[in-house]
Amino acid sequence: MEGLPNMPAVVPCDAVETRKATTYLVSQHKGPKHIRFAREATPVVTGDATPFVFGQANVIRLRREGPNFREAFETVLAKGYKSEHEDLSIVACGPMVPEAMRAAYILKQEFGYETRVLNLHTLKPIDAEAIVRAAEDTGIVITAEEHQIGALALLTESPRLYGLPVITGAIGVKDRFGDSGAPWELIKEFEVSAEHIAHKALELITIKKKPFVDQEAASLVDVL
C-alpha cells in the first residue's frame, strides 16, 4: 500500500490509537487512506491523553514502577523530545510497540540500560527526523517489525549520519513462509518477541563497547 502514490499508511499500536487514527483520517485527511492493524486483541498501551499527530512519531520512555504496565511509561511527541543520552533506540509500529516497551523494561531492570522507544504509527509519511535524531543521539537503532525485515533504508540514506558510528539491527520475520497459530505462539516462533529484541540490543551494545581499531592506520604504523 505504501508503494501507491499519495497513499498514507498508519499502523496503530492498540485500540485507542486505532480510534484516534481512524477519526483523523476520516474527518480531516483528504484523499485515499490506509490503516493496518492486528486482527487479534493486543495490549492497550496508550490512553486518551497520549499524543497522536499524523506523520509524527512518539517517544516512549520507561519512568517508574506502576500499578500497571502502561503507567510505568511516559509518551511524548518525538518532535519536542530532548535527548536523555539513552543507550539505544528501538523503532517499532503496530503490535511491536508493546513488545518494544517490554524489551525496554527488560533492558532496564536486568541490565541497567536506558532505551528510547519510537512508536512510528505513521509509516507514510514517515517521521524521518525522529529516526535520524534517535540514531545521532544513541548510536544504536533497532527496528522491530511484525513482518519481513526491511525498514533500515532510511538510515543508510541520511547524509547527517555520514561518518557517525551508528550501529543498526533489525527484528522481524526472516526469509521464510508464514505459519498459522495463536499470536503469542507466532511471536516466539518468528523470533520477534520482547526477549528477542532485548537479546539483539545486548548484542549491539557489546559490539559498540568493543574498542575501534582502524586497520588501515594500524598497518601504516607497522610499516613506519
Q: Residue 95 is part of a domain; what is its CATH number?
A: 3.40.50.920
Q: Between 159 and 154, whose confidence is greater?
A: 159
- Asked whether residue 124 is assigned to any structural domain, the reply reads yes
- Domain of residue 65 covers 9-210
Q: What is the model's pTM?
A: 0.86
- Asked whether residue 143 is assigned to any structural domain, the reply reads yes
pLDDT of the residue at 224? 46
pLDDT of the residue at 42? 85
Confidence band for 183, pLDDT divided at 50, 70 and 90: low
Continuous H helices in the chain: 15-27, 96-111, 128-138, 153-157, 183-189, 194-209, 215-223
pLDDT of the residue at 211? 67
Q: Report helix, strand or coil for 49.
A: coil
Residues sharing a CB contact under 8 Å with residue 15, sequence separation 6 or more, in sequence order:
42, 44
Q: In sequence order, what are the beta bridge partners of 91?
A: 118, 143
- Asked whether residue 19 is assigned to any structural domain, the reply reads yes
pLDDT 10s digits, 69-107: 999 999 999 999 999 999 999 999 999 999 999 999 999
Query: Is the pLDDT reported for residue 4 higher than 70?
Result: yes
Query: Is the pLDDT reported for residue 178 higher than 80?
Result: no
Judged on CB neighbours under 10 Å (0-12, 13-18, 19+), 131 is buried
Confidence band for 218, pLDDT divided at 50, 70 and 90: very low
Q: Which residue has the cell 532485548?
A: 198
pLDDT 10s digits, 159-173: 787 778 889 888 877
Confidence band for 155, pLDDT divided at 50, 70 and 90: low
Q: Which three cell numbers stand for residue 44?
A: 492497550
DSSP-derived pairing of the beta strands 167-173 and 115-119:
unpaired
Q: Report helix, strand or coil for 124.
A: strand
Half-sphere exposure of 206 (CA within 13 A, CB side): 7
Beta-carbon neighbour count of residue 136 at 10 Å?
16
- Asked whether residue 219 is assigned to any structural domain, the reply reads no
- Please tell me the distance from the alpha carbon of residue 92 to that of residue 98, in angstroms, as a whole number: 9
- Give the dihedral sign, CA 197/103/135/5: positive
As a whole number of Å, the end-to-end CA separation of the chain is 58
- Asked whether residue 218 is assigned to any structural domain, the reply reads no
Domain count, the chain: 1
- Asked whether residue 4 is assigned to any structural domain, the reply reads no
Half-sphere exposure of 142 (CA within 13 A, CB side): 29
- Asked whether residue 151 is assigned to any structural domain, the reply reads yes
